[in-house]
Each structure stands twice: as structure tokens, then as C-alpha cells.
Amino acid sequence: MLTQYEVMDASQPVLCTSKTHYGCLQKVISVTFTEGYEDVHLYKGATLVFALFRPCILTRGDPRLDRLNIHFYSREDEKILHVTDITRVYGLVGRVKDGPNSWAIIDRGNRVSRVAYLTHEDGCEDD
């Protein structure tokens, strides 16, 4: 399952920024605390859910497609396993074969995506 998710950007630890990634979901793991750790606001019985991903290695695509949120990749990184809180998983994305060993990720689920209905009157004419 190809999914869009965020993980903390390790190159910017002081800023606590996150970075969007695409990858293949490997596992979903839940951890329930049998003891409380109030100093970090984890109380007895609290459950945290994590998702583990193999990230896609993105390749440079056509810059004209950037605004359409289409990204290209040729393989998943077998050496890296990203772990993120399940609330940082944004959704399933589609992929389209783009040559023998390449795919295009079609992401319509991010914050700037929106649905639009255009009619013939709105300027969608055949040239």
C-alpha cells in the first residue's frame, strides 16, 4: 500500500520540523503503557500507535508536474525503515507505471489538493 506520511526531519532537530514522504506500509504497531509516566504526559493505559514504512526513493521528474503534486520513483529504500505516529499518515496515494522500472505517484490527498468540476462553459474546450 503506497501512502503519504510525515516524519521528523533529523537534519533540523532544533526546529522540530517534519517532512512529507511516500512509502510502502510495512506494519502498524500499538504500544499500551502499563505504568504511567506523568513527567512526559503518558498515563497508565495510554496507547500509542505507530506505522512503519519503506520509503520511496524519489527521482527528478518533469518540473511542470510539480504543481500537480506528481512525484516519480523507481524503487523503495530497503535499508531504511521510517517509524511515525499513525496520526502523521495522510492517506493512500495512487501510482502509475512510467516505464519499465519507474512509477509516478499521483497524490490528491494533501492539504492543497481540492476537487474541481469544470464544464464546457468554464473553458474546458477541445482544441
Segment 93-124, tens digit of pLDDT: 777 777 777 877 776 655 544 444 444 444 44
Which one-letter DSSP state was computed for residue 79? S
Read off the pLDDT of residues 56-99 as tens digits, 9 standing for 90 and up: 888 877 777 767 777 788 888 999 899 988 888 877 777 777 77
Higher pLDDT, residue 116 or 8: 8
pLDDT at 13 over 80: no
Q: Is residue 127 part of a domain?
A: no
The count of other CB atoms within 10 Å of the CB of residue 26 is: 15
Range of the structural domain that residue 7 is part of: 2-122
Confirm if 54 and 84 have CB atoms less than 8 A apart: no
User: Which pLDDT value is given to residue 127?
Assistant: 38
Q: Is residue 113 part of a domain?
A: yes
pTM of the model: 0.65
The total of structural domains in the chain comes to 1
Q: Is residue 19 part of a domain?
A: yes
Q: Is residue 65 part of a domain?
A: yes
Q: How confident is the model at residue 54 (pLDDT cuts 50, 70, 90)?
A: very high
Q: Is residue 35 part of a domain?
A: yes
Q: Is residue 66 part of a domain?
A: yes
Per-residue buried b or exposed e for 83-108, using 16+ beta carbons within 10 Å of the residue's own CB:
ebeeebbeeebebeebeeeebbbebe
